[in-house]
């Protein structure tokens, strides 16, 4: 679809001001803040999702699956350029994405040419990038003539380490990308998770070029004000950054927790260093009330955390379940009393906390990154000073001793996500955003 689209009325959105539009007779103009009911394209769009993985893995993959499935349900077409498979729920992804192609590999020239060819063959109205390693492919997407939008899930766009904290102290970094990242931070040497030699070189200049390419994207999407500030700190235009929190799909009929006497806690997420499961275990060793803790997830730190759990004398109270499909996590929420989030890296959002609140659970989390934008200390859970294990344990004890307080905070959280983080409203916002960028692209072609 490369011509001017048909139109319909929509509500004014606060990010529309200044956007270009085409009226039904082909006239070109810009939305003003006073425009109450501007026209917007009522089109069945074809969106090309781009991601480095294929299948379930973490929060980004969960968001891609539910977003693409809902876009399909609403009549849009979706396609996928993807990397290696994860071995988890890949059949579900095949059903969501009937049109899918592997991301190109090879020399720089081959990768660039093949990426351009794939975009031409799929012929999308817009390209929706999630995570993508490869400057040549990114450059080919930008040069394709299609509007490119990216959901910035984490810090890898502007942090050479990608997790935005010091490798030794885990202290959170608040600097923009600069030569400081080379020295004294030492981020040009990183762990190689692809096998072979344990370390790899990370190019500062390549990261600068990646940022420059993103300045040519039509829009960048983030989950929180914190993430918008991080992008702006690194020189990306705030007016091109939209906040659309990647909320989980609302359960059809979410089960409220029973808050039973087993005092169960639940952690759902990857067991990697930034998620702080080791810090969680050290905090749990300080909890005075009887409890059981369910660890739902897998990752590179699982073996070390299982060993630490035994060393701390927690083996009979902490269970590691490995990867648990999203649908099965609901059963754990239904019988727990507290959801715990021990992230020590600056969380861009922390969607698992919202999932727990859907089921009326209070959340205890460290104050890291964007978590404070949905977790209000003492209102829908407890926001604990970063890495304060003793305070974390005390807050867990407080909720386990006072189930009426736990229920009250949990019900407030349930109300909060229902009002502020509805899945349907999230998809509505994305539809409006993509409608705008497709209309902008069509108007530019029409006026060229």
pLDDT in tens, 248-303: 887 766 778 999 999 999 999 999 999 999 999 999 999 999 999 999 999 999 99
Q: Does the structure show a pLDDT above 90 at 375?
A: yes
Residues whose CB is less than 8 angstroms from the CB of residue 324 and which lie 6 or more positions away in sequence, other chains included: 268, 296, 297, 332
Query: Quick one: what percent of the chain has pLDDT higher than 90?
Result: 83
Task: Provide the pLDDT for residue 4.
Answer: 32
Please tell me the distance from the alpha carbon of residue 417 to that of residue 357, in angstroms, as a whole number: 7
The Cα–Cα gap between 292 and 288 comes to 12
Please say if the pLDDT value at position 192 is more than 50.
yes
What would you report as the CA-atom Rg of the chain, rounded to the nearest whole angstrom?
23
Q: If pLDDT is split at 50, 70 and 90, which confidence band does 131 have?
A: very high
| Residue from 160, 164, 199 nearest 183 by CA | 160
Residue-wise pLDDT tens digits, 24-52? 333 344 434 333 334 344 579 999 999 99
Give the integer Cα–Cα distance in Å for 439 and 23: 10
Alpha-carbon span 180 to 294, nearest angstrom: 40
Query: How many CB atoms are located within 10 Å of the residue 338 CB?
Result: 27
Q: What is the mean pLDDT of residues 394-401?
A: 98
Q: Which two tokens stand for residue 385?
A: 């000073």
State what percent of residues in the chain have pLDDT above 70. 90
Q: Helix, strand or coil for residue 65?
A: helix
CA atoms within 13 A on the CB side of 259: 19
What average pLDDT does the chain have? 90
Is 440 in contact with 147 (CB distance < 8 Å)? yes
**What does residue 335 show for φ and ψ, rounded to 5 degrees?**
-125, 15
Predicted structure pTM score = 0.88
Q: What b-and-e string marks burial along 224-257, b requiring 16 or more CB atoms within 10 Å of the CB?
A: bebbbebbeebebeeebbbebbbbbbeeeebeeb
pLDDT of 1 over the 60 cut: no
Report the distance separating Cα 64 and Cα 31, nearest Å: 30
Buried b (16+ CB within 10 A) or exposed e, 200-221: eebeeeebeebbebbeebbbbb
Beta bridge partners of 384: 366
For the purposes of burial, counting CB atoms within 10 Å of the CB of 64, is it exposed (0-12), middle (13-18) or buried (19 or more)?
Answer: buried
Other CB atoms within 10 A of residue 378 CB: 11
Q: Which of 79, 201, 58, 52 is nearest to 134 (CA)?
A: 52
Q: What is the mean pLDDT of residues 162-176?
A: 93
Pairing of strands 28-30, 20-22: antiparallel
Calculate ∠ Cα 57-121-43, nearest 5°: 80
pLDDT attached to residue 35: 39
Q: Identify the residue whose tokens are 């885990």.
A: 170
Element at 22 (helix H, strand E): strand 20-22
Query: Is the predicted pLDDT of residue 20 greater than 70, yes or no?
Result: no
At residue 448, the pLDDT reads 63
Give one DSSP letter per residue of 276-327, joined into a string: THHHHHHHHTT--S--EEEEEB--TTHHHHHHHHHHTT-TTTEEEEE---HH
At 84-115, the pLDDT tens digits run 999 999 999 999 999 999 999 999 999 999 99
Which strands sit side by side in the sheet containing 381-384, from one edge to the other?
318-322, 292-296, 264-268, 338-341, 363-366, 381-384
Q: What pLDDT is attached to residue 5?
A: 33
Please name each of the domains of the chain with its CATH number. Answer: 7-248+424-447 (3.40.50.2000), 264-421 (3.40.50.2000)
How confident is the model over 399-435, as pLDDT tens digits?
Answer: 999 999 999 999 999 999 999 999 999 999 999 999 9
């Amino acid at each position: 679809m490369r011509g001017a689209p048909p139109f319909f009325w929509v509500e004014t959105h606060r990010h529309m001001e200044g956007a270009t539009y085409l009226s039904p007779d082909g006239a070109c103009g810009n939305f003003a803040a006073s425009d109450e009911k501007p026209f917007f394209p009522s089109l069945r769009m074809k969106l090309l999702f781009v991601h480095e993985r294929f299948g379930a893995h973490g929060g980004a993959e969960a968001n891609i699956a539910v977003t693409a499935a809902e876009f399909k349900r609403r009549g849009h077409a979706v396609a996928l350029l993807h990397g290696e498979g994860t071995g988890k729920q890949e059949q579900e992804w095949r059903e969501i994405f009937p049109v899918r192609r592997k991301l190109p590999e090879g020399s720089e020239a081959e990768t660039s040419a093949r990426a351009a060819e794939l975009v031409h063959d799929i012929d999308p109205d817009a390209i929706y990038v999630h995570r993508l390693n490869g400057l040549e492919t990114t450059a080919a997407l930008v040069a394709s003539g299609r509007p490119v939008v990216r959901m910035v899930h984490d810090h890898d766009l502007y942090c050479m380490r990608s997790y935005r904290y010091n490798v030794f102290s885990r202290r959170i970094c608040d600097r923009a990308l600069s030569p400081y990242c080379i020295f004294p931070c030492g981020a040009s040497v990183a762990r190689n998770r692809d096998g072979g030699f344990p370390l790899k070189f990370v190019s500062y200049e390549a990261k600068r070029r990646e940022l420059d390419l993103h300045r040519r994207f039509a829009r960048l999407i983030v989950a929180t004000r914190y993430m918008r500030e991080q992008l702006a700190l690194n020189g990306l235009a705030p007016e091109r950054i939209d906040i659309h929190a990647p909320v989980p799909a609302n359960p059809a009929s979410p089960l409220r927790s029973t808050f039973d006497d087993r005092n169960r806690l639940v952690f759902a997420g990857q067991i990697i260093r930034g998620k702080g499961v080791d810090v969680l275990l050290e905090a749990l060793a300080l909890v005075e009330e009887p409890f059981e803790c369910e660890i739902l997830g897998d990752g590179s730190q699982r073996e070390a955390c299982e060993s630490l759990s035994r060393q701390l004398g927690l083996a009979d109270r902490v269970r590691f379940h490995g990867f648990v499909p999203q649908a099965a996590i609901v059963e754990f929420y239904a019988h727990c009393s507290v959801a715990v989030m021990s992230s020590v890296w600056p969380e861009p959002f922390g969607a698992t906390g919202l999932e727990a609140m859907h089921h009326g659970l209070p959340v205890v989390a460290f104050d890291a990154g964007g978590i404070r934008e949905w977790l209000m200390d003492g209102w829908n859970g407890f926001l604990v000073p970063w890495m304060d294990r003793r305070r974390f344990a005390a807050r867990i004890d407080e909720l386990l001793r006072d189930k009426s307080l736990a229920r009250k905070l949990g019900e407030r959280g349930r109300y909060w996500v229902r009002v502020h983080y509805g899945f349907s409203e999230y998809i509505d916002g994305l539809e409006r955003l993509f409608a705008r960028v497709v209309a902008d692209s069509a108007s530019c072609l029409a006026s060229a």
